[in-house]
């Protein structure tokens, strides 16, 4: 009788312990599932960056590298011009507005609502058809060409060929930068306008007597880049402001970016990007600049 009673007690205690163990295991599983559901590291992230065609190749290349390491990201990079990028990001239509100019320089855009993320510097300069026979002009001659006062390359020691000015649309950040720093604020003569930097390069290369302007990142052997007052359009000359036609490349967000967007913007400033595709594509790393320039044009040495 005692043996039976003892066996029953042992069995009851064993069942109680097992039940408690199972309850603990179940509670542990529930806790783990809760933690997993709270993790957002692998959640889909969609970023749309729109604007400057001068900045587009850099963001495109960096995007490909970033997405290869972060498969949950989908990043779309589109052109349209700096004005389009700034207005669309201000309206909340896109995640990032790419721009060659400060938001404060664009009318109709409330810059106070935007946050500036500078990711590189881009030099810009005049390019001509290779057959015009001119390699160097003065700044005043550049102004006279684009304002329509000089109409033939022979007046500059080149070929007897009518000058064909190819301009950019009014919303172009490249145009705003070129007019401000290359033309001293003078407005270009009414002429053919093209929004895409790639299209501009193609037209200049194929049109006798053509002149336009491009970011360094779009310059190649298909056109000739002009020197101004014997200063060549090089990255070294941009770095110390000897070549004055340059701008920061801005990636604007509406307010502070969330963590997912910030991760991509931070990636743009990593050594992998700044010492990699930034240099490879003809931009200047932010750290390479020997001067800083604010929205008013004031230059300070770094």
Domains of the chain: residue spans and CATH:
45-121+244-301 (3.40.190.10), 123-240 (3.40.190.10)
Tell me the average pLDDT across 47-69.
95
Percent with pLDDT over 90 in the chain: 77
Distance CA 190, CA 167 (A): 8
Tell me the average pLDDT across 186-194.
90
Higher pLDDT, 12 or 30: 12
Q: What is the reported pLDDT for 195?
A: 82
Average pLDDT, the chain: 88
- How many other CB atoms are there within 10 angstroms of residue 45's CB atom? 19
Query: pLDDT class for 22, splitting at 50, 70, 90?
Result: very low
Higher pLDDT, 165 or 195: 165
Distance CA 252, CA 83 (A): 12
pLDDT in tens, 201-219: 999 999 999 999 998 989 9
Beta strand 291-293 with 114-115: parallel, antiparallel or unpaired?
unpaired
Q: Which of 170, 177, 179, 165 is nearest to 122 (CA)?
A: 177
> What's the pTM?
0.77
Tell me the average pLDDT across 170-178.
87
Q: What is the reported pLDDT for 34?
A: 34
pLDDT for residue 41 is more than 50: yes
| Contact between 66 and 38 (Cβ < 8 Å) | no
Higher pLDDT, 8 or 36: 8
pLDDT for residue 134 is more than 50: yes
């Amino acid at each position: 009788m005692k043996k039976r009673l003892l066996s029953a007690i042992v069995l009851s205690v064993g069942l109680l312990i097992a039940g408690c163990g199972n309850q603990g295991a179940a509670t542990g599983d529930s806790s783990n599932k809760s933690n997993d559901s709270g993790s957002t590291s692998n959640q889909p992230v969609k970023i749309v960056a729109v604007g400057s065609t001068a900045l587009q190749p850099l963001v495109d290349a960096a995007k490909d590298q970033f997405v290869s390491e972060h498969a949950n990201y989908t990043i779309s990079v589109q052109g349209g011009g700096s004005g389009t990028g700034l207005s669309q990001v201000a309206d909340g239509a896109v995640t990032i507005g790419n721009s060659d100019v400060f938001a404060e320089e664009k009318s109709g855009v409330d810059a106070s609502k935007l946050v500036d993320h500078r990711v590189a510097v881009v030099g810009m300069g005049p390019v001509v058809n290779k057959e015009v026979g001119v390699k160097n002009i003065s700044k005043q001659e550049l102004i006279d060409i684009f304002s329509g006062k000089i109409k033939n390359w022979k007046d500059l020691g080149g070929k007897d060929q009518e000058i064909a000015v190819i301009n950019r649309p009014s919303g172009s950040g490249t145009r705003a930068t070129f007019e401000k720093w290359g033309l001293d604020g003078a407005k270009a003569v009414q002429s053919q306008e093209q929004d895409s930097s790639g299209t501009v390069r193609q037209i200049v290369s194929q049109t006798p007597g053509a002149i336009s302007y491009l970011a360094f990142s779009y310059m190649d052997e298909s056109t000739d880049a002009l020197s101004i007052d014997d200063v060549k359009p090089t990255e070294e000359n941009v770095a110390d402001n000897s070549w004055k036609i340059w701008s920061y490349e801005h990636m604007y967000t509406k307010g502070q970016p969330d963590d997912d967007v910030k991760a991509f913007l931070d990636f743009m400033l990593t050594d992998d990007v700044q010492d990699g595709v930034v240099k490879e594509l003809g931009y200047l790393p932010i750290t390479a600049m020997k001067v800083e320039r604010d929205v008013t044009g004031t230059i300070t040495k770094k």
